[in-house]
Amino acid sequence: KNEVEQSPQNLTAQEGEFITINCSYSVGISALHWLQQHPGGGIVSLFMLSSGKKKHGRLIATINIQEKHSSLHITASHPRDSAVYICAVRHSGGSNYKLTFGKGTLLTVNP
Amino acid sequence: DGGITQSPKYLFRKEGQNVTLSCEQNLNHDAMYWYRQDPGQGLRLIYYSQIVNDFQKGDIAEGYSVSREKKESFPLTVTSAQKNPTAFYLCASSIVDSNQPQHFGDGTRLSIL
C-alpha cells in the first residue's frame, strides 16, 4: 500500500464547478504539501499545512491530522486550473528531510 | 527573480553514455534535491544535499551520481549503469527546516536514442 493515496486519479469538470481532490496518508507527518504541475512539467507549491485550513484565492486546503486526510478544493473552477495536483507529505522524526508524493490527480476543466 | 534553473529542458542519450543534468538556484537555499518522475508514479527521491560538499542517497540512487561543490549548483549525472534512464527529472531546493516548502525547477526530460 502506498504511503500517500490520492483520489480521484482523473477528474473532468465544467467551468464554474466546485472541485475536491482527496489525499490520505499512512505515516506520521510534520506537514502536508499540495503542489500543482502544469503540462510543461514545472511544479509550483500551492499550500503547506500542518493543521486546520488554508485559503488562497479560489483554492482551499484542509487537513485532519487524526484521520490522516487532506482535501484540496477549487471553487468556481476555470480552464486555467487544468493541471496535475500532487499531494506530498513530509515525514516526522528522523526522516524529516523526506517528502513522499502521491501519484497526482489530473484535472481537466472544460469551458 | 529568484528561482531554480534546470537545463536542458530536453536531453537525448545514446546507450552506454553518461549524461549530466544541470540545476542552479539563486534562492540561497542550503538544501537541494533530485527527483525522478515516471508516468503513473509519484516523484521519487534520487539524491539530496543539505550542505555544500555533502550529499546523501535517496530511495533510487543506483545508477546516478551527484556533486555539491557550490551552494548554488547540484548537477546530476545519469550513468550508463542506470538501466532505465528515460524519465522526467526535477530538481528542488529549500531552506533546511522541516516545515519549509521546496521550490522546484521546470524539469529535464531525458530520452534514450
Q: What is the pLDDT of residues B58-97, one digit of tens each?
A: 999 999 999 999 999 999 999 988 889 999 999 999 988 7
Tell me the C-alpha distance between A30 and B51, whole Å.
22
Of residues A40, A41, A48, nearest to B101 (C-beta): A48
What's the pLDDT score for residue B15? 85
Of A101, A108, A60, A103, which Cα lies nearest the Cα of A83? A108
What's the pLDDT score for residue A92? 79
| b/e per residue A62-92 (b: at least 16 CB within 10 A) | bbeeeebebbbbbeebeeebbbbbbbbbbbe
CB B80 within 8 A of CB B17: yes
CB B70 within 8 A of CB B52: yes
* Most confident among A27-41, A56-70, A84-98 (mean pLDDT): A56-70
Mean pLDDT of the region A69-85: 97
CB within 8 Å: A45 and B88: no
What's the pLDDT score for residue A60? 98
What are the percentages of helix, strand and coil residues in chain B, rounded to 5?
A: 0, 50, 50
What's the pLDDT score for residue B98? 59
Mean pLDDT of the region A86-109: 86
Q: How far apart are the first and last CA of chain B?
A: 36
Mean pLDDT of the region A84-106: 86
Paired residues of A64 in beta bridges: A69
The answer, for A4 touching chain B at a CB cutoff of 8 Å, is yes
The answer, for B84 touching chain A at a CB cutoff of 8 Å, is no
Closest CA of chain A from B44, distance in Å: 8
Q: How far apart are the first and last CA of chain A?
A: 36
Please tell me which residue of chain A has the smallest CA distance to B43: A101
Mean pLDDT of the region A54-80: 97
The owner of cell 503542489 is A35
SS3 A103: coil
Q: pLDDT tens-digit profile of B1-55?
A: 679 999 999 999 888 899 999 999 999 999 999 999 998 889 999 999 999 999 9
Of residues A30, A96, A101, nearest to B42 (C-beta): A101
**Percentage of chain A lying above the pLDDT 70 cut:** 95
